[in-house]
Amino acid sequence: MNRTIGILAHADAGKTTLSEQILCLAGVLRAPGRVDHQDAFMDSDAMERRRGITIFSGQAVFALGENRYTLLDTPGHADFSAEMERALQALDAAILVVSCVEGVQSHTETIWRLARRAGLPAFFFLNKTDRVGADVGRTLAAIRKRLTPDCVPFGAGAAQGRFADAEKEEIAARDEALLERYLEDGATDAAFMEAARREVAQGRLFPAFCGAALRGEGVEALLYGLDALLQTDYEARLDEPFAAHVFRVRRDGQGARETHMKVLAGRLRVKDEVEVLTADGGTAREKAHELRVYHGERYRSVAQAGAGEVVAATGLALPLPGDRIGARPARARFETRPMLRARALFGPPLQKDAVLAALRQLEQEDPALSVGVDPDTGEPEVSVMGPIQLEVLQELLRTRFAMDVRFGDSRILYLETIAAPAVGIGHYEPLRHYAEVRLRLTPGPRGSGVTFQSVCPVDVLALNWQRLIGTHVLERTHRGVLTGAPLTDVCVTLVTGCAHLKHTEGGDFREATYRAIRQGLMGAQSVLLEPVCRFALGVPQGALGRVLADLTRLRADFEAPQQADEMASIEGLCPAATFMRYPAAFTAATHGRGTVSYALSHYAPCHDAEQVIAAAAYNPLANLADTPDSVFCSHGAGFNVGWREVPAWAHCAPPERETKPFVP
């Protein structure tokens, strides 16, 4: 039976150390490697070993009884959380490592939220129980309070179905029939095992095991407990049509593109053609030339891969991380988003087109980079999570492309949305072209991005045109009108539209759709959003007053400090714009004895919107390629109509009736 498990954790919780111990226990390694010795099997990249952090998702395979496992060791640093989120698509279960010294940290909560969003069964490993200051009870209480109340400690007997009384009570409490049998005349160990497996699969029970990964303590109980409690059904999916999730794109040593995927159903054979998504949302067919199963840095070629297996295919040029390929191709929407934007700086002999092409290739591997061109300077720029990711990007450009590229100071990546519904109309009618759309823009839930639906009857506008409009709504990043920041959390509804039997072409609706969104935003109540960080500080008592004053000045919202011996812990939320440069000042204030961690929590209305908007000095009418105006035709020639006058010139009147919303 094929199973894929991933190890997730806040940085320095012991994630890679646990991976090494699991591989050693499974007989893959003679001895576990160590991050601080730069010999960890899972951190095979030179940058990872030099920096002592996981940057790319490492992969290894091992067998345990009748089950064949693929193990993914994902990045724990917040700067590489996008890589971690993409790896979740390949997993059948997650192991979340929590240090019993540091406890639940800010990024731990982010990881947990993403794992639950993916619907993964999860197991906890409470690590570092051998360290001074470790407190299993405190850590378990924090997990139950901040992550899930359904975290239940399990012992080594769980692997054989020998549950302690406390464990039986926790299992039975989630199964009324089992609880009744347990209270009346007891229940068999097999009944408890069956119930535990079911509760784990349905996300109502999260077993926790304790130990010290560096010394190998508790690892056997975790691994064999997971093996006994986890269930998959891939054997039943082997005869279904092929489908797979792409979770990573990489280049091998010869520059060949590798598409790493988890096969969900069916089989993929060498030379098979598979259906993939194109950049514009359409589909195409591409052939898999070679299939590779990776184990650390090395791989072996295989003739086919079946449901449940993780494989890398060469020959596929279009799939991106997050794509579902094969049956029912689709593109995933990820929650992790960068907070910063930075401009690429370089000089002769490098040319802008060459640098942009290199960045575009890296963007295929990490779509969150959102490579673009600064509208004012024309220079390439990228979106990143933090400064360490920029350093890694700079090193990748040097080692892979022989390019000496630096990056300017990072600036906050703001977003824009709307606070109330608005209507946008776009008309495009130069000679022998025709298209018009009327869109309703409404605020969407936080984090929903831009979505599309239609209430336009198909007898008013044909379904193929409605689908095309939906494609154009979603195919690009639309810019707000306050600072030119990306638009988000807006539902775009097609109300009505017009086409010409003879003169309408596909590109006409692209122009009309873009102009309608822009025209609607010009009259909308726009809101500037800023990223908000969740932070956790460990502060020496002598510096506590200074740090509290700093946090107040930074406009942080924080809880009362928790005292523990000579250190205090502070957690809270703070605008990224004020917090991003604070870690250096914090280190100085605590003389290097403090600890700081932070991660993106959410976007919220900007605390100093007026100043940011004034500093941006953005003119929404200056860019003719992103205009809110429309083009109408009179006497055989097209002419421009300003955005304010477009409603008076529009051909399509608001409909008397609307269908129920649907996504064409």
CATH code of 325's domain: 2.40.30.10
User: 549, exposed or middle or buried, with CB in 10 Å at 0-12, 13-18, 19+?
Assistant: exposed
Q: Report helix, strand or coil for 367.
A: helix
Q: Where are the alpha helices (DSSP H) in 582-640?
A: 582-589, 609-616
Write down the residue that tokens 């400090």 correspond to.
561
**Would residue 110 count as lying in a domain?**
yes
Residues 113 and 257 in one domain: no
Report the distance separating Cα 197 and Cα 115, nearest Å: 18
For the stretch 187-200, what's the b/e string if a residue is b when 16 or more beta carbons lie within 10 angstroms of its beta carbon? Answer: beeebbbbbbbbbb
| pLDDT of amino acid 491 | 97
| pLDDT of amino acid 213 | 92
Give me the CATH number covering residue 583. 3.30.70.240
Instruction: Name the strand (E) or helix (H) holding 566.
Output: none
pLDDT tens profile 239-285: 999 999 999 999 988 889 999 999 999 999 999 999 999 887 789 99
Rg of the chain's alpha carbons, rounded to an integer? 27
Residues 380 and 430 in one domain: no
Report the distance separating Cα 405 and Cα 392, nearest Å: 12
Domain that holds residue 186: 2-232
| pLDDT of amino acid 409 | 82
| pLDDT of amino acid 275 | 96
> Is the pLDDT confidence value at 596 over 90?
no
Write down the residue that tokens 């019993």 correspond to.
100
Write down the residue that tokens 């309703």 correspond to.
440
Residues 146 and 173 in one domain: yes
Report the distance separating Cα 141 and Cα 151, nearest Å: 9
- Express as a percent the part of the chain with pLDDT over 90: 61
Out of 29-43, 44-58, 203-217, 262-276, least confident range: 44-58
Residue at which a domain ends, from 183, 206, 232: 232
Average of per-residue pLDDT values in the chain = 89
Residues 316 and 378 in one domain: no
Residues 422 and 406 in one domain: no
Residues 389 and 317 in one domain: no
99-121 average pLDDT score: 88
Out of 167-171, 259-263, 372-376, 507-511, least confident range: 372-376
Residue at which a domain ends, from 361, 385, 413: 413
- Greater pLDDT, 378 or 44: 378
Q: What are the angstrom distances between the C-alpha of 386 and each of 167, 599, 608? A: 42, 9, 22
Look up the pTM and report it. 0.79
Residues 518 and 449 in one domain: yes
CB 376 within 8 A of CB 389: no
Give me the CATH number covering residue 225. 3.40.50.300
> Is the pLDDT confidence value at 296 over 90?
no
Half-sphere exposure of 620 (CA within 13 A, CB side): 23
Give me the CATH number covering residue 511. 3.30.230.10
| pLDDT of amino acid 657 | 65
Residues 140 and 206 in one domain: yes
- Express as a percent the part of the chain with pLDDT over 70: 95
Residues 87 and 227 in one domain: yes
Half-sphere exposure of 543 (CA within 13 A, CB side): 22
- Helix axis angle for 219-229 and 189-201, nearest 10°, is 90
> Is the pLDDT confidence value at 86 over 70?
yes
**Would residue 132 count as lying in a domain?**
yes
pLDDT tens profile 435-444: 999 999 999 9
Q: Left, alpha or beta for 297 (phi > 0: left; psi -120 to 50: alpha)?
A: alpha
Residues 323 and 345 in one domain: no
CB 598 within 8 A of CB 579: yes
| pLDDT of amino acid 536 | 84
For residue 22, what are its two tokens? 């699991």
**Would residue 10 count as lying in a domain?**
yes
> CB within 8 A of 158, min separation 6: which ones?
167, 196, 207, 221, 225, 228, 229
**Would residue 663 count as lying in a domain?**
no
Q: How many domains does the chain have?
A: 5
Listed in order, strand segments (DSSP E) in 151-303 are 151-153, 206-210, 243-251, 257-265, 267-269, 273-277, 283-287, 290-295, 298-302
pLDDT tens profile 551-588: 999 999 998 998 877 888 898 999 999 998 888 899 88
| pLDDT of amino acid 603 | 92
Residue at which a domain ends, from 413, 431, 458: 413
Report the distance separating Cα 314 and Cα 335, nearest Å: 28
Residues 110 and 225 in one domain: yes
Q: What are the angstrom distances between the C-alpha of 415 and each of 47, 71, 247, 557? A: 32, 36, 26, 21
Query: Dihedral (C-alpha) 588, 592, 595, 600: value to the nearest 10 degrees?
Result: 40
**Would residue 616 count as lying in a domain?**
no
- What count of residues does the chain have? 664
> CB within 8 A of 298, min separation 6: which ones?
none
> Is the pLDDT confidence value at 41 over 90?
no
Residues 163 and 22 in one domain: yes
pLDDT tens profile 447-483: 888 999 999 999 999 999 999 999 999 988 899 999 9
**Would residue 621 count as lying in a domain?**
no
**Would residue 628 count as lying in a domain?**
no
> Is the pLDDT confidence value at 46 over 90?
no
**Would residue 634 count as lying in a domain?**
no
| pLDDT of amino acid 422 | 97
346-374 average pLDDT score: 90
Out of 68-77, 391-400, 552-561, least confident range: 68-77
